[in-house]
Structure 1
Amino acid sequence: MRTVGLIVEYNPFHNGHLYHLQQSRKITEADAVVAVMSGHFLQRGEPALLDKWSRTRMALRGGCDLVIELPVAYATQAAEWFAYGAVSLLEATGVVDSFCFGTESGELQPLLQAAELTAHESPGFKALLKRELQSGISYPGAYSAAISAHLSEQGYASAANFPFALPNHTLALHYLLALNRIGGKMRPYTIAREKAQYNQAEVTDSQIASATAIRKLLLEERELDAVRSFVPESTFRILQEEWAAGRCPVSWEQFTNPLLHAIVTRSAPMLSELHEINEGLEHRILQTLPKLDSLLFEKLLQTLKTKRYTRTKLQRALLAILLGHAKADFTAEKLASGIEYIRVLGFTDKGRQLLRRMRVSAKLPVLLSAARAPRPFAYLELDVQASSVFMLGRSREADPASLFRDYTDKPVTHP
């Protein structure tokens, strides 16, 4: 059974995702689709619009056969570790032959060349990166510029002019770097994004909109029908169910009070011990709070924001405070050691067949629930904690049982 892997957030699953899934299956001639999906908190340091089980239902009804979870330790990271965790998990299943990702250009060759040349970061490349960082630009921008300069020095003039700094190109490059670094066997493919780009907040098409634009419609207009034409009917029905039950849309504002509690009960030295808190950010956060004219998350974010501290950087830092993620647990050495298990969120009948094959092929234990873990896994414990925080923030009247759904819920099945 040929199987293609996808790296997704599905926040929520929309028509663009459906196109990508269908095209991925087509160009790889795959019989099955495995998605590695972020859980309750996402790569840009924000909570998901809906819980991970609802998004798993969307994925299965949209055509995925098996959904596995990318632990929060990797799901909320910048491109390098986000990609490393996701690619490692797909490779560890032992059943995924290829993986397919969206890019702005649909070109693969320049990305492959860049990944091959820089996977192990030669002294020459590190010197270029250091030079770019000293110019004062952001790390992603510096990395992209160093890649281009390195390719040019190595005689790859055409690839050197490739726009590596575009968001999907950056992620794609890191997927390929991860594949090189782990010695993965999966074959990579890419598809050009159509009609709406990754972080495009405006709607410019009658049927295709980015997840960013869809979330904006839901959170700002508070009108579910406004997104109906941009999502498959199966997604819309799940949105209706969760909306009627008061379980979506979820946003950062619902976590403002617990976040502020986590900040004001820590001193600057205590904050500095948390992941993503560096370069004096702990002092800026504590000095900013008394200056706010309202205790809204967006107000805090806008007041903190500078050229040095971007929105995404700040969201990841504030999320680390909310979740209590310590620097010591997120060192490069620990992250490079990888994930120790494969957590299954849902599957179809075909996905069940893949799971049978994984009993033999998987390089890691396959978990159908946190309660079935053969031993304590540090990243799994962080996921359980993150789920509890998400459930508390999602509703003022959280069901006590919902706090520990990771232990009690079975994987979602479809049909």
Structure 2
Amino acid sequence: MQATGIIVEYNPLHLGHLHHIKQTRKTTEADCIIAVMSGPFLQRGEPAIIDKWERTKTALEASVDLVVELPHLFAVQHGDYFSKGAVETLANLHVSSICFGSEQGTIEPFLTAHKTWEDKRDSFDSILTSFLEKGNSYPESSRLAYEAIGISEIDLSRPNNILGYSYVKAINRYAPSITPETITRVESDYHDETIEGTIASATSIRKNLHKYGEITKKASETLPTFTSKALQAYRDEKQVWHSLEIYFPLIQHLLWTSSPEELRMIQGVDEGLEHRLLKAIDVSSSFHDLMHTVKTKRYTWTRLQRLFIHLLTNIKKTDSRLLEKPVSYVRVLGMNDRGREYLSQHKKDFEVPVVTQLKQLEDPLFTLDLKAQKAYLYPLSGENRVDSYRREKMPPVFY
């Protein structure tokens, strides 16, 4: 069996994602589609609106064959580390290709751009440093540096092109036997905040859900029926859809009880930011207030959100060393019959543990996954919290 990989968050899974899955199967002619999915917290520094188990169920209902978890440490990072973790996880499962959605829609410009970057890498690094020293954010500095070395084949101001380019770089560096593929992204821009039509961004869908506290007609038109049911069932049972705002009391507590020295140990707290955080928390009555008080041109919204996730999950700078090491296991979240058959056929060939039970693995990277899952459950009631963590110790979802 041949497998292709996709890199997803499904926060939540919408009609644009269905298109991606369908076109991936058509483009790659794969026997098995494997999704590596972020767990409790996501790349832009946000909690998933519903837990990874419910999102896994929606992936399987959307015809993904096997869902595995992207280790938490890689899931909440900038594009290069996020891509490294995702690509290495899929490489551990011996996928032959990785297919991603992009505004560009064809793979050749990504390959040409990567060749340019490789030829001018030393120049790129020095140019990037110079833009950072001028006070630009990392994303803006990267975009300007790519322009400066002559990358013009793809528009690296578009969010999915940026992430897709990171995937191509990671494939070339960590898993060159994998073939990168891309399809045209049909949904709205990743950052769009309002729902327009039936193909909407996950950002706009979440914003609508949180604003109204229910699945509105407008939101339901952008979602498969099974996603709407999963969202409603989670809210009915857990009494919550997760957002950073509901973690604010815990963030406030952690900042109020931490010294500057302790905060400096947290990943992302650099350049004296600990003092800015401690001043800001004293005058902030909500997470929204806190973000607006701390944000500057250099400290982007996404960078700060990631920092607060690191604070919530107690990810320290010393943990960052694990980002440089290969992903050393694969955690299975769910599968259908095809996914089960694929694992059965290939299990003797895998070089790392492919685990379905917590007791099967002792790994420092996996320990961080468990810490993140516990932090994610903070907003739930006591009984729901215990029940939800108990689910962590149970077998994967079978569909």
Please state which band the TM-score falls in when normalised by the shorter chain. over 0.9
Alpha-carbon contact 2:37-2:67 (below 8 Å) kept: yes
Closer, same or farther in 2 for the Cα pair 1:119/1:248, shift >3 Å? farther
- Structure 2 distance, partners of 1:52, 1:120, is 40
Query: Does the C-alpha gap of structure 1 residues 380 and 216 become closer, same or farther in structure 2, counting only changes over 3 Å?
Result: same
Cα distance change on mapping 1:161 and 1:183 into 2, 3 Å: closer
CA offsets, 1:298-324, max 9 Å, x none?
121122112121111111111111111
Q: What one-letter code is carried by the residue in structure 2 that aligns with 1:276?
A: G
The residue type equivalent to 1:364 in the other structure is: V
1:122 aligns with 2:108: no
Are the aligned partners of 2:91 and 2:175 in contact in 1 as well (CA < 8 Å)?
Answer: no
User: 280, 285, 290: which one pairs with 1:288?
Assistant: 280
Paired residue for 2:357? 369
Structure 2 residues without counterparts, runs of 5 or longer: none
CA distance in 1, matches of 2:105, 2:240: 34
Q: Is 1:140 matched with 2:139?
A: yes
Alignment of structure 1 residues 270-349 onto 2, 5 Å: 270-292=262-284, 294=285, 296-331=286-321, 334-349=322-337
SS at match of 1:5: strand
Secondary structure of 1:160 counterpart: coil
User: How many Å apart are 1:225 and its aligned residue?
Assistant: 3.5
Tell me, in whole angstroms, the C-alpha distance in 2 between the residues paired with 1:49 and 1:61.
18
1:392 to 366, 369, 378: 378
Map 1:220-259 → 2, pairs under 5 A: 220-226=211-217, 227-259=219-251
Q: Which residue of 1 aligns with 2:148?
A: 149
- The 8 Å contact of residues 65 and 349 in structure 1, kept in 2 or not, is answered as yes
Supply the distance in 2 between the matched residues of 1:266 and 1:106 (Cα, whole angstroms). Answer: 47
CA-CA distance at 1:195 after TM superposition: 4.1
Q: Which 4+ stretches in 1 moved above 6 angstroms?
A: none
Asked if 2 retains the 8 angstrom alpha-carbon contact of 1:34 and 1:64, the reply is yes
- State how far apart, in whole Å, the 2-side matches of 1:405 and 1:45 are: 24
Q: Tell me the TM-score normalised to structure 1 length.
A: 0.92
In the aligned structure 2, how far is the partner of 1:5 from the partner of 1:161? 25
Deviations 1:94-133 (A, max 9, x none): 1x11111111121322221222343597322222222332
Identity over the aligned pairs, expressed in percent? 37
Q: Secondary structure at the match of 1:147?
A: helix
Cα RMSD after superposing both structures: 1.7
**Conserved 8 A contact 1:73-1:379:** yes
In structure 2, what is the Cα distance between the partners aligned to 1:35 and 1:67? 5
- Aligned mates of 2:105, 2:291 — CA distance in 1: 34
- Relative to 1, partners in 2 of residues 1:272 and 1:109: Cα closer, same or farther, differing over 3 Å? same
Rounded Cα–Cα distance in structure 2 between residues aligned with 1:120 and 1:338:
25
* CA displacement at 1:26 relative to structure 2: 0.6
CA distance in 1, matches of 2:78, 2:356: 28
Cα pair 2:154 2:161 within 8 Å, conserved = no
Moved more, 210-219 or 114-123: 114-123
CA distance in 1, matches of 2:266, 2:373: 19
Asked if the contact 1:392–1:398 (Cα under 8 Å) also holds between the matched residues in 2, the reply is: no
The DSSP-based 3-state class of the residue aligned with 2:347 is helix
3-state DSSP of counterpart to 2:265: coil
Deviations 1:1-29 (A, max 9, x none): 23211000000111000001101111111
Query: Aligned with 1:357: secondary structure?
Result: helix
Look up the SS of the partner of 1:278 in the other structure.
coil
